[in-house]
Structure 1
Amino acid sequence: MKIDYNKIPLYAKRFKTPAGYKYQTIYEHTWELLNNMDILFREYSAEIEDGLKKLNIDIEKFKYLLKLAAIYHDLGKANLLFQAKIRDKQKNKEVPRDKTLSREVPHNFLSLVFVDVNKIAEDIKNHNFTNSEWDTLLYTIAFSHDREFDCNIYNIDYFKNYIEKGVIHFLNNPDLYWFLNFISGSIDKDKIIKNTNFFWKKIKQFKIKMLEEILNFEEYNTQFKVLLKGFLHRLDHASSALVTVEEERIDDFPKKVELYLKEKGNFSNFKEFQMKAVELSDKNVILFAPTGSGKTEFGLNWAQKGKLIYTLPIRVSINAMYERFIRIFGEGRVGILHSDNFLFLLNDEEKYNSDEEIEVLFNNLNLSKNLSLPIIVTTGDQIFTSALKWPGFEKIYSLFLYSKLVIDEPQSYSPESLAIIIKTLEEVSYLNGKFCLMSATINPIIFNYFGDKIEYLQAYSDNELKNRFSHIISIRDNSILESIDEIIKEAKTKNVLVICNTVKRAQEVFKAVKEELKNSKELIKVELLHSRFIEKERRRKELAVLNGKDLNSIFISTQIVEASLDIDFDMLFTEISSADSILQRMGRVYRKRQYNSKTPNIVIFTKDISGIGRVYEEDITKRTIDYLKNFDGLYLSEYDKKVLNEYVYDLKEIKETRFMKKFNKTYDILKYGYRSENKSEAQKIFRDVFTVNAIPKSIYDENFEKLLGYLEKLNEKNLKPAEKIKLISNIRDYTVSAPGYLLPKSGASVFDSDLGIFIVNHNYDEQLGLISDEDDPNNYIL
């Protein structure tokens, strides 16, 4: 029986719905990309055109090639094996079989053969296209999905046979006939077969040259390639998720910030440095601003209008900043992007307590994931891992042709992560990207790499900084565990913050405080917060520390409270750490108040310190102690803090330290073209710690029936996406972020492989969190 290939629907996407599978044809999916392309250029036309112009890229030429890439990129799905694979069992019968096609050729490579070689020659001749620009289009189509291309598996003979028997029959199918006619004006099967050798060689050539051609971001060809491929990825991913590539832009950040501040009261005008931000909006900027002086408002004013990506190093800081931005810009204008964003959002039971509201949340998560909202608040690993060139990294880089990037508290990253950040910013700047680094502790390494290429601004002059002080410090040559009585004594009249360098030490301090208070009549609230509590308990504790304004209380924590949290305690007891870290810790005490007492409100312990050599470099920590000893019992002004950071990270003095060796090694690896296999691997490298989601055995046993009930429900067919997210959230409530090395040492078992959740045998205490007897090299997780 003769098969009519023109009547076989050609599917590009399959979606699971309560009513069964829903399909999207190649035609429908391609039109989604073209519609999204119109939206992208409508919302940000001025910024994109300006950015391309500065790179000497003709905008009409760029748009023309992007449109072709959008049309061609999925045409290769019109092949027998893909069409059989995408269908359910019943629809699978629509597609004939050919026994000579034993292995599917990835559709992105097949898409290439639809390109009309004659049209390439004509465009090069008549429309001022270069061979390199057309090669960029072909490369973009061929690697619209970055799949492996093994010439031992897909040899030229098999490639030709696959096209002749699995592809050619569909050329007149109405699902792609319109596009082929629109592009070429005619369809010639013989020419497609004839040009197979040409495209086969191109694919091999692209694969070989892929790395070397993305190393030099100063070159036109690299810039063109990264932007074209990146824009295609953004269009494709948004269209596949059924969301717009860009939501409506925000045209006046400063006005919205001003309205918000006026509603809060006690606001007359922006500070001088905050107003200066608007003037510097088209510049790369470093802002030095003491804690609590209003650098967030500076960052928003600097962004001015359009699109903003705002990065912070710590999840709890991101959550707090997201809620702050929601109050300024409104619902549906701000996205949050980190590994547990849906858990954080679902925690708002008043907002998301119905299926309809959860569907809205699900859509918002998709918009955030696809970077479609005008403001995205995110962790650094979502952005800066692009420097590790994971497959598809161009998607992130292309974003900054028309977006602004704020890096808040860059000092909170490890030397390896700092090297990755600096390399990313270098490459983004070559693509006309604009960034703003903001901190109370700017690492001199940053100046070393950017020099006069970046505007430096201080919130206050050095003279003003010398007259600003909120802290008197006391340096103690003893352990924090030897000062429990003093901590409790101060907590009788104050709100006390205790910060330790490791989870284990924080647990030890908490136990010692509780033991001392056991027989006491003092009514002192004691709270412990670190990363190893189960999710629902950790969220409660994070809110407690954010709202912790009561006297007679002691909050004991780790580094997770250091960066960009608007908390204000009366007194700090802390282990010594690196200069940037210790200064951030000070910023959580008398944050916006003048300190008029004569007694220390910052107590720093320098003996029996946890985490030195593992969490903090010993050389850097020693230099920090050496400087701070000069201020024992004295006020430490904001100017003194600035000098402390400059002293500790003096590049001439620390060039042989482990800190700089780690930084230089990472930077050099990136400079010479390191590529991670995937984004997940890149994120692990950036975070410098491998963690897993685990349910402690005692928690699992206690909630056995509930957890298995969630899992059973999760595996039901025809489950709505919103229901699925809610069930996953319910399960994750009982998980803790645990270091990966615990798995083999704890006799761990798998709870669910699809969710990546394990069960660990380590003890769990509701007051202490997960307890590990091992000497933990990663005993802090941000």
Structure 2
Amino acid sequence: MRVCYAKFLPHDFLECHTNDAINVLRSMKGAFKWLEEFFPRIWELSFYSVLLHDLGKCASGFQRDPRKWGYRHEILSTPFTAFLDLPEDERNLIALAILTHHRTLDELEEILPSGEHRAEFEDRVEELLQNRDYIEGIFFERVPYWELYFFGRRKGLFNPPEDWAERIMNYDFDSLLTWYERNSQKYWNELVFLRGILNASDHLASAGELAVRLLSDIRTAVEARVPPERWRPLQRRAGETEGNLILRAPTGYGKTEASLLWADRNAFRTKKGVASRIFYVLPYKASINAMHSRLLALFREPELVGVLHSSSAFYLYSSELEYRRLSSLYRKIYTPLKVTTPFQLMKPFFGVGFPEMGLMELTGSLLIFDEIHAYEPNVLGIILAMLELLKERKTRTLVMSATLPEFLEELLREALNPKLLTAPPEDADRFTRHRVNVIDGSMDEVEELLAEVPADGPVLIACNTVSRAMEVYSRLSEDHNAMLLHSRFTYGDREEKERNLLADLNNYDVVVATQVVEVSLDISFSTIITEPAPLDALIQRFGRVNRRGFGEPRDVHILTKGGDGDKKIYPIEVVKESLKLLEELNGKPLLESLVPELVTRAYEPLAKKLTEEVLTYREQALELFRGLKPLKGGESERRFYEMFHGLEAVPGVYQDRVLELINHGRSIEVYRYLVPVPMWLYLSESDAFHRLSDRGPGKYVLVAELEYSPELGLQREPREGGDIM
């Protein structure tokens, strides 16, 4: 009797892979009990989806060489669902999950057995029947034992008749597709769950994992870091709050611990641990990486705490973690706690990747949004649309911030109907760390200002644009030991700069930086001189002064004049109102209890307009999301990448080195040489960009033939040539 393999290199018998996938499914059944509330027969139908999903691989052509075979094994697996003693609707649900577990229906349309494609299907069935002995003597014989293992009893629902081969040959795919068109909306949830669970079971089994992971008790992990007797009132109350929550507290208050205690209170549990999938959502990669490191120290196992963003594989590689295995697992329903961007959560709603698996994982999940005020109106609108739809899927959400304007809080209240927790004024004011000093002037006088500003350590100079930061740095570096930090350095150079600052900040007199300093570094400067910006952004910048909050408030200095390019970055009305409010506080401490009110007042001139903008994007997103069909692709995936796909390029001076890495199979290291490129720069200097290769990270590597140095970063001048050693 011949054997049949499901996987090659290394080889894995079909019955072994099926057994592994059933093991994964069994662990999901034990963990995700709440899914039965949406779909009572979810586990029974999922079992038969997993059981039959790869039977088509028994075709002799697939067994000889799956890469050259040129057909889809799912099409041959689907007809076996005809032998299930189940109602027709349930058989069709299982059939559609199996048919689409690798490709969407629209991707399969051209090769499905109909009309001229029927003859090819019949030829492939003949190939399948060349391994009839294996299918009958090995696979069919194991089905009752798999049922016993999964259900605790033999169901006897899979009963191939003696003429099963003939019935496979005559399976009616047209009827299945007609049923889908008539019933896809009625069975929307069922189709999503069945495909999502089958994808998860198949992918994890193929990765060599036999079970999803659960968190141990979250409260115990928090207690190990902060003993309960040291918990602040707001942290304790967050841990007692059920349902959606908005939490306002100053920077440094311990919001992360508060959010974990809230998650512990709201999580679904089993005897083995916390089953809920928890997503900790932040806007910036640097803060995501820092939070992942912090949570990893808390829960200790990298399988329990995932990180997910566009360059997370490189972050894992740089952290000396198993980047290939972990970056793959973090994209599956495996890791219980993930630190990520909102864009990763949006993907299922736009139909990107395997959306059914993403939607299934988000069902019943816990979402923690930190720094939600940092997003543009279009992103906020999409987040609100997601939250609107997830309310119906038993998802609970915590939003926390030190600087949440009232207009945004109102939008969140409408979407979530949350409870609200705010640090009492006297409690918040214990975190007052800064005294306001408004200086009439601009960065044009930065040398004089630096000489006049009292400082007993390194000074932070915060600029609003990269070009302004480069200009200021070039002037100061002549007489000061200075460093420049902005977004247009390669990831490798920026990582080295941040490492140097963390290792020995006092080695520098001055650090000139853009907004990147608001989110990236856990360091504390003696003072700051900053260009004007919206108040919430300024408060983030102030947070890099007197970071630990020891002693008296430290002076922060805000200039009244910015640069010409500021209006492209910040709404001028909000900047003007922020300056007006700060001038009223000139010479006084910035009391933390006042921050929420001040931020709200700063945004008052634009609150109505911003609210309308956010709601417009929300309605557009809802219309798009509600139009998605399960098991099908669509235009929404293209729109997602158009909206949110960031550009990255290799400076021309590094292109030979990058090509060498690609040719030696070390593409992961290409990330060290990539620079984020804003779209305006790409469009204005388009002649300076070209493609290096169709390999490496992403679909191709973009090269920027612009001047670059590790000291200044990527500039706008065309590159003259040369090399950097």
Partner of 1:65: 45
Partner of 2:721: none
Per-residue CA distance 1:294-327 (angstroms, 9 max, x = gap): 1011112222244432222111112211221222
Per-residue CA distance 1:704-757 (angstroms, 9 max, x = gap): 4x555433322xxxxxxxxxxxx2343332332334626832042414534422
Partner of 2:238: 277
TM-score by length of 1: 0.78
Give SS of 2:423's match.
coil
CA displacement at 1:450 relative to structure 2: 3.9
Contact 1:223-1:431 at 8 Å conserved across structures: no
Contact 1:226-1:394 at 8 Å conserved across structures: yes
Q: Partners in 1 of 2:428 and 2:559 — Cα distance?
A: 22
Residue of structure 1 aligned with 2:713, choices 757, 769, 774: 769
Residue of structure 2 aligned with 1:291, choices 251, 260, 267: 251
Contact 2:534-2:574 at 8 Å conserved across structures: yes
Give SS of 2:385's match.
helix
Q: Partners in 2 of 1:426 and 1:770 — Cα distance?
A: 41
Partner of 1:378: 340
CA displacement at 1:501 relative to structure 2: 2.5
1:223-622 alignment runs, 5 A limit: 223-247=189-213, 249-261=214-226, 268-280=229-241, 282-304=242-264, 305-306=274-275, 307-332=277-302, 333-348=304-319, 352=320, 360-443=322-405, 444-451=407-414, 453-462=416-425, 464-465=427-428, 469-487=432-450, 489-490=452-453, 493-515=456-478, 517=479, 524-546=480-502, 549-550=505-506, 553-563=509-519, 566-593=522-549, 596=552, 600-608=555-563, 610-613=565-568, 615-622=569-576
CA displacement at 1:361 relative to structure 2: 4.6
Residue of structure 2 aligned with 1:24, choices 4, 8, 12: 12
Partner of 1:128: none
Partner of 2:132: 173
Q: 1:678–1:151: structure 2 CA closer, same or farther, 3 Å change rule? A: closer
Per-residue CA distance 1:335-382 (angstroms, 9 max, x = gap): 22223233223334xxx4xxxxx7x45333333232523322223322
Q: Partners in 2 of 1:26 and 1:203 — Cα distance?
A: 28
Partner of 1:654: 607
**What's the C-alpha RMSD, in Å, of the aligned pairs?**
3.4
Runs of 4+ in 1 over 6 A off after TM superposition: none
| 2:36 matches 1:52 | yes
| 2:115 matches 1:157 | yes
Give SS of 1:238's match.
helix
TM-score by length of 2: 0.83
Letter in 1 for 2:378: E
| 2:606 matches 1:634 | no
Partner of 1:13: 7
Partner of 1:745: 687
Residue of structure 2 aligned with 1:86, choices 66, 72, 78: 66
Partner of 1:732: 671
Contact 2:385-2:619 at 8 Å conserved across structures: no
Give SS of 2:506's match.
coil
Contact 1:422-1:446 at 8 Å conserved across structures: no
Letter in 2 for 1:759: V
Contact 2:469-2:513 at 8 Å conserved across structures: yes
Partner of 1:140: 97
Letter in 2 for 1:690: G
Partner of 2:653: 698
Partner of 2:147: none
Q: 1:696–1:115: structure 2 CA closer, same or farther, 3 Å change rule? A: same
Q: What is the number of residues matched between the two proteins?
A: 676
Contact 1:381-1:686 at 8 Å conserved across structures: no
Partner of 2:271: none
Q: Partners in 2 of 1:677 and 1:558 — Cα distance?
A: 39
Q: 1:303–1:72: structure 2 CA closer, same or farther, 3 Å change rule? A: same
Per-residue CA distance 1:147-186 (angstroms, 9 max, x = gap): 3347566572234323322125525635544555735222
Q: 1:143–1:378: structure 2 CA closer, same or farther, 3 Å change rule? A: same
Q: 1:749–1:28: structure 2 CA closer, same or farther, 3 Å change rule? A: same
CA displacement at 1:397 relative to structure 2: 2.2
Q: 1:709–1:155: structure 2 CA closer, same or farther, 3 Å change rule? A: closer
Letter in 2 for 1:33: A
CA displacement at 1:64 relative to structure 2: 0.3
Identity of aligned residues (%): 24
Letter in 2 for 1:496: V
CA displacement at 1:653 relative to structure 2: 5.6
CA displacement at 1:66 relative to structure 2: 1.1
Q: Partners in 1 of 2:422 and 2:254 — Cα distance?
A: 9
Letter in 2 for 1:173: R
Letter in 1 for 2:624: G
Contact 1:535-1:733 at 8 Å conserved across structures: yes
Q: 1:385–1:447: structure 2 CA closer, same or farther, 3 Å change rule? A: farther
CA displacement at 1:250 relative to structure 2: 2.4
**Segment drifting more, 751-760 vs 422-431:** 751-760
Contact 1:752-1:758 at 8 Å conserved across structures: no
